[in-house]
């Protein structure tokens, strides 16, 4: 989605006058709200979760 605003100043103000940060925030919140987790085969999910658990153990408890 386009982040820049090509309106003239008056039209921009009438539309709410959102700066780039506010527009970006609105866009990422909408994208997160609309996100649908893709389907994953249960065996793939279990293998992935086992891998992540193994790596967390190898890395150590202090890491995310």
Residue by residue, pLDDT tens for the chain (64 residues) are: 688 888 999 999 999 999 999 999 999 999 999 999 999 999 999 999 999 999 999 888 665 5
Distance CA 42, CA 46 (A): 6
Determine contact, residues 30/37, Cβ cutoff 8 Å: no
- Rounded to two decimals, what is the model's pTM? 0.56
Distance CA 4, CA 64 (A): 35
Of 29, 21, 30, residue with least CA distance to 3: 21
Q: Where are the domains of the chain?
A: 9-59
């Amino acid at each position: 989605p386009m982040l820049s605003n090509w309106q003239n100043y008056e039209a921009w103000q009438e539309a709410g006058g959102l700066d780039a940060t506010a527009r970006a925030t609105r866009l990422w919140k909408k994208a997160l709200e609309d996100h649908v987790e893709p389907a994953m085969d249960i065996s793939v999910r279990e293998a992935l979760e086992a891998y992540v658990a193994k790596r967390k153990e190898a890395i150590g408890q202090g890491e995310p």
